[in-house]
Amino acid sequence: MNQPAVAQPKVSLAQSSPTVGTFRERDGALEWSGRQETVRIEPWGPDAVRVRARLGGPVLEGLPGALLDAPAAQDGTVGISARKARLTVGALTVEVTAEGMIRHGRPPAPRPVLERGLAGADFDEQSGVAIVDRTKTAGDAVAPAHGGTAELVHRFCDFGAGVREVTARVAGEGTVELSLDGGPVLATLTLDTPTDGPYAYTDLTAGLVADGVHDVRLRLRGPLRLAHVGFSG
| 3-state SS assignment for residue 230 | strand
Does residue 216 surpass a pLDDT of 60? yes
- State how far the Cα of 202 lies from the Cα of 198, in Å rounded to an integer: 11
Residue 12 is predicted with a pLDDT of: 39
137-179, pLDDT tens digit by residue?
889 999 999 889 999 999 889 999 999 999 999 999 999 999 9
Does residue 39 surpass a pLDDT of 70? yes
- State how far the Cα of 58 lies from the Cα of 54, in Å rounded to an integer: 7
| 3-state SS assignment for residue 160 | coil
pTM as predicted: 0.59
Does residue 54 surpass a pLDDT of 50? yes
Alpha carbon separation from 73 to 46, 70, 88, 94 (Å, rounded) = 9, 8, 14, 18
Does residue 9 surpass a pLDDT of 70? no
Q: Give percent of the chain above pLDDT 70.
A: 87
Does residue 60 surpass a pLDDT of 60? yes
Determine the average pLDDT of the residues in 61-70.
Answer: 64
Residue 99 is predicted with a pLDDT of: 79
* Amino acid letter for position 140: D
Residue 11 is predicted with a pLDDT of: 40
| Torsion sign over Cα 116, 119, 125, 126 | positive
72-116, pLDDT tens digit by residue?
778 888 888 767 888 888 888 888 888 778 877 766 678 999 999
* Cβ neighbour number for residue 28 with a 10 Å cutoff: 15
Computed over every residue of the chain, the mean pLDDT equals 85
Are the C-beta atoms of residues 27 and 40 closer than 8 Å to each other? no
